[in-house]
Structure 1
Amino acid sequence: MNKWTVNEAPQDLRVLISGFQSWSEAELRPLTDVQAVPGQHWRVEQGHDPGFPPSGEAGVWRSHTVLALVRADGSGWVGSVGDATRTFAQWEARAGTEAVTVTCTLEGPDVPVTWEETGDVIATLEARAADLGVAMGARTPAPLRVWCSWYSYYRDVTLDAMLDNARLASEHGLDFDVFQLDDGFQTFLGDWEDPSAHFGGHARELPARLAELGFTAGLWLAPFLVQPQSRLFRDHPEWLLRGEDGQPLAFGNNWGGPYHALDTTHPGALDWIRELGRTVRGWGYTYLKIDFLYGATQPGVRHDPTVGRAEAYRMGLQAFRDGVGDDAFILACGAPLAQSIGLVDAMRTGPDVAPLWDEDSRRVWLGDATGPSARNALHTALSRWYQHAWYQPDPDVAICRRELSLLNATERDAIAGMLDVIGGLRASSDPISLLDEEGRALLRQCLTVSTPDRPVTLAASHGDAVTHFTRGTFNLTDRAEGGIPAHGYRSAQGKEQA
């Protein structure tokens, strides 16, 4: 364990943290605040690292890979690591009466660790993030503009719905590059070649038909997860990550209940993952969104006990990359962030957007801000602005429709502002038929690719996140602040919707 003492009054400092995976919270908070931890263990498993969960204590903040303490003048301290290929770097800042204790514990092989005082936390954090990206061979291709089926059709998506939306996008001249089929085309997790009863075809039929309309085909997979109802679970229980009792480890709570994960140290499982990549590439998919990847990192009993959790994850991800080929575009989601550098082209850097601003019952009462909502997506994605040096950031979809949505114009505009500030991928999921002229205009704005922006300060914020950028300022609170309405965004030119 690496340990330092910061001789500074804790009440005078802010802490900037980044959680374990895509959906885990990233925040900018007073150091003396309480870091929330979900009240239900399955939510810790699904949204955080159960091996190093949030503290749940006042003045104790846990972060992965990087950590920063910020003074009121923007100076402070930055912690970082030089490699994350096989190692989890687990940072903790613990406020005392008159000083702060900072530790960094490495789970995996030793890697270089730095803790440095700086006059400019923003610039130093950006520089260390860039160093890590270079060291791990970060892939940062040009951003793509993607239509995704999930946020409109969810698991009820059909082949006809995909094609209907692609035709309408073409007719309206909407500049999408990729039409991506999300969850719902398959029977069970693990049985990816078996079409669901409602899909109305097979996923392999889609790429050629989308190509006729001028679009690249994308496909969603959760390659490391296995549902207990699947043939894969029945035929190859020896490939599954196990608990201490020797039984397949069950965790999470989606798709009607818990699920299992492949043991990515097992040669048979790795061969299967590799072949899955080859199969979907053979169907014609060159854009793959692979989701719930954290499953490979769950604490458990592995086939090869000498392999740590970070390395096991990397082995599984490498197998999938080998299967789809080096020229395929991989967007990772629900994925350990730094451990994916060099193998994925893009990364979801926050929770799912949803057609509602906030979900208090989950965030406030259950202590879990990893769930879908516009507020959660902005809160975390904005606080990870520096990660564009690791991959193309994916802050998730714009919501431009007024129907089937609880978002108002101010909130829709804030999401559009997030996309502009973060840069990276541009995505939408609105049924094209529901967009009127105003909705299509907002969508065209959201599809305009931009370069990543940077904060102007970490010493002030409208909400518990990074909100002040050179191009504009966000207000994530429930009241007007700084002349910006609640849940709003004001560009540097003063434009805002109220």
Structure 2
Amino acid sequence: MSKRLIKKGSVGRLALFFCMLVLVTAVNGQQTAAELLTRLKTAPATVVLSNGSKASPAAVVSRVWKGGLCKMSVTNTSAKPLPIREVIIFDLQHGLPGTTPIYGEGFQKLGQTGGTLAKPEDWCTYPDRTHYKIPEPEGLRTVYGMLTLQVKNTDRVLLATTSCNKFISRFSFSDKRLRISIDCEGMVLQPGKSWNLEEFLAIAGPDREKLYDQLTAAISKHHPRLKHDPVPMGWCSWYCFGPNVTAKNVADNTGWIAGHLPQLKYVQIDDGYQPWMGDWLDAGKAFGGDVSEVLQQIRSKKLDPAIWVAPFIASPQSRLFKEHPDWMVKDSAGQPLRSDKIGFGGWRQGPWYVLDGTHPQVQQFFTELFRTMREKWGVTYFKLDANYWGAIHGGVHYDKNATRIEAYRRGMQAILKGSKDAFILGCNHPIWASLGLIHGSRSSMDTWRKWESFRDIGRENLLRGWQNGRLWWNDPDCILLEDGGATDVMDQAGKGVAGKKKQGLPLNEFLFHAATVYASGGMLLSGDDLTKMRPERVAILKKLMPPTGKAARFANEHFEVGVTAMKDKTIYFAFNWGDAPVERTISLPAGRYRLTELFTGKDLGIAEQEYKIPALAPHSALVINAVKK
């Protein structure tokens, strides 16, 4: 066929032939990573107005490529204001098999998506589209900020926006289609004006970790990492006392830490001290003490006071909401927006209302609140929770020209101004919108004392290992080493364990959990009541100190064998996520190595080239230190 076309010299038919060749390639699923990127760069862009109509030719999209980076903007070339719902920056038939593995981030940190193009899976507890009810374009499965696709088992394609100053990017897909858009939220683009649509990155290669290195390097140019070293270590009240925490609980554990393990520098009071969400400077009756005095007691033990705050939300019963309803994000009727009307209303003391980060008085409130806690209360570590609500969709802001991303970022900037040099941990936060605004990032759902949680939370944390130390310190949530826990802990759905005593877990499952925390390279906070901790479990906790500061690197998302290179040794991680014994092989660099298991201290002998684990037990992990002889 090709010879006849060329012989006739028909340029049109030759072009048709190549189009047919591309089509056949796509249908057969033989497309390479390079071919996908080429097709992506030539895919059309479309500006969609709030009424659903196309804005062309009134609005023009510019895409300027330099290597794998693309600067994108949209300009209103007409004489009329344009309310823009979204800019579809790329829309194409991707030509990949439906079995192509994918991974994408959620809008908020409780969302992760894996599986394949045809059968995506929620690798998370609370997805954006169901729990938070964030609308998805055209019913396609959607991820935010970044998407990776495993092409032909060898190459991986990474697509991402490397900035998030005004807009969030959406990567929507099916087994046939890839649609990448910028959510403009109906903002009005004035005549002759332009918007920067954030920078875009499209790269490919065989090495998962090297692609993430390129992504984080590109992000750092727009959102430099807020550094706060070393990696934090401490204790958190939530997993042993829940919202029923008392001043005595905190004092007892503070005394234990000061006397036995002062390396746990930060003593953090979690949710439960306040009477209502929003009234952060008041103490609830159940707490049984003045919060500022308890924090001062922590300082008197030469430890650092830390506290939980959810700055963007307010309970309807709170003094804050009653006195300042005008500070809240509004609904379409101009009334304070009840978050449960458009999504999830909060896990307790709801339904929550949302403070508007674009409101000047809210910004002033944030700065003064955190300045009081920092300077008068002496707090040096803030765990900020429910940050997602600061970027809630479907609301009306004080500044009508601001997106929800800008509302959140302005609020966070006001918080940073008041908190000064304190450590800021983002929790339940919008991931991409938090770039450059936090020192630490919770990288998983809350941990529970059961195998299914240790397994799922472990995977969530390792999936985000590429962020640790490059965007912020990852917080893999608390390390739990004892069966005893809070009597009334509430989860994100508002359900509690209500004092039910659970059957104890075997040691191997606790050690599996400990291994995932250590492999994350991130923060280390104990979640047990340390006053009741068995000495042998304290010994395990000590083995995890200090954190490595480096996430283990893995070949793929199966997370079977990982490696962390340190100055004096190399640490290997072998995991068995399943219910039957498995063989694991650790490949060693050239030379001879003394191998030692971390938790037991067992000498595994001298190894060269590789070390085989013939039968790693179910729900187990080994952490092996390798020192060159």
2:498 is equivalent to residue 418 of structure 1 = no
2:309 is equivalent to residue 184 of structure 1 = no
Equivalent AA in structure 1 for residue 403 of structure 2 = G
For residue 22 of structure 1, report the CA deviation from its aligned partner: 2.1
2:121 is equivalent to residue 121 of structure 1 = no
Equivalent AA in structure 2 for residue 283 of structure 1 = W
Equivalent AA in structure 1 for residue 536 of structure 2 = E
Equivalent AA in structure 2 for residue 103 of structure 1 = R
Question: Which residue in 2 is equivalent to 1:393?
Answer: 474
CA distance in 2, matches of 1:349, 1:207: 27
Q: TM-score normalized by structure 2?
A: 0.69
Question: Which residue in 1 is equivalent to 2:622?
Answer: 490
Q: Could you list the runs of 5+ residues in structure 1 that have no partner in the other structure? A: 359-372
Equivalent AA in structure 1 for residue 219 of structure 2 = L
2:437 is equivalent to residue 336 of structure 1 = no
Contact 1:87 1:111 in 2 (8 A): yes
Moved more, 68-77 or 231-240: 68-77
For residue 258 of structure 1, report the CA deviation from its aligned partner: 1.6
2:171 is equivalent to residue 91 of structure 1 = yes
Question: Which residue in 1 is equivalent to 2:134?
Answer: 50
For residue 351 of structure 1, report the CA deviation from its aligned partner: 0.6
SS at match of 2:279: coil
Contact 2:111 2:127 in 1 (8 A): no
Match 2:573 to one of 459, 463, 472:
472
2:112 is equivalent to residue 31 of structure 1 = no
2:157 is equivalent to residue 63 of structure 1 = no
For residue 296 of structure 1, report the CA deviation from its aligned partner: 1.1
CA distance in 2, matches of 1:399, 1:487: 16
CA distance in 2, matches of 1:355, 1:112: 41
Counting matched residue pairs gives 462
Contact 1:28 1:383 in 2 (8 A): no
CA distance in 1, matches of 2:439, 2:130: 23
Equivalent positions of 1:428-443 (< 5 A) are 428-443=526-541
Match 1:382 to one of 450, 462, 471:
462
Contact 2:165 2:198 in 1 (8 A): no
Equivalent positions of 1:256-275 (< 5 A) are 256-275=349-368
For residue 211 of structure 1, report the CA deviation from its aligned partner: 1.8
CA distance in 1, matches of 2:129, 2:121: 17
Question: Which residue in 2 is equivalent to 1:164?
Answer: 252
Structure 1 residues 139 and 422, CA, compared in 2 at 3 Å: closer, same or farther?
A: same
Q: TM-score normalized by structure 1?
A: 0.86
Q: Could you list the runs of 5+ residues in structure 2 that have no partner in the other structure? A: 1-87, 185-195, 340-344, 486-501, 564-571, 584-614
CA distance in 1, matches of 2:520, 2:513: 11
State the superposition RMSD in angstroms: 2.6
Question: Which residue in 2 is equivalent to 1:348?
Answer: 442
CA distance in 2, matches of 1:206, 1:242: 37
Question: Which residue in 2 is equivalent to 1:402?
Answer: 483
Question: Which residue in 1 is equivalent to 2:197?
Answer: 110
Contact 2:384 2:424 in 1 (8 A): yes
For residue 410 of structure 1, report the CA deviation from its aligned partner: 2.0
Equivalent AA in structure 1 for residue 555 of structure 2 = T
Contact 2:512 2:621 in 1 (8 A): yes
Greater relative contact order structure (CA < 8 Å, 6+ sep)? 1
Equivalent AA in structure 2 for residue 343 of structure 1 = L
Equivalent positions of 1:189-204 (< 5 A) are 189-204=277-292
CA distance in 2, matches of 1:270, 1:10: 47
SS at match of 2:351: strand
2:387 is equivalent to residue 293 of structure 1 = yes
Give deviations 1:386-437, integer Å, cap 9, x for gaps. Answer: 1121111101110011334643322211221112111121111110122111
Equivalent AA in structure 1 for residue 134 of structure 2 = P
Give deviations 1:20-63, integer Å, cap 9, x for gaps. Answer: 222222x4423332334999xx97589657144996xxxx6422
SS at match of 1:253: coil
CA distance in 2, matches of 1:254, 1:8: 40
Contact 1:287 1:328 in 2 (8 A): yes
SS at match of 2:174: strand
Instruction: Answer 1 or 2: which has greater strand percent.
Output: 2
CA distance in 1, matches of 2:299, 2:269: 14
CA distance in 1, matches of 2:448, 2:380: 27
Structure 1 residues 280 and 47, CA, compared in 2 at 3 Å: closer, same or farther?
A: farther
Question: Which residue in 2 is equivalent to 1:368?
Answer: none
SS at match of 2:286: coil
Contact 1:314 1:340 in 2 (8 A): yes
Give deviations 1:192-246, integer Å, cap 9, x for gaps. Answer: 1221112121111123211221210001100111000011111111111122233
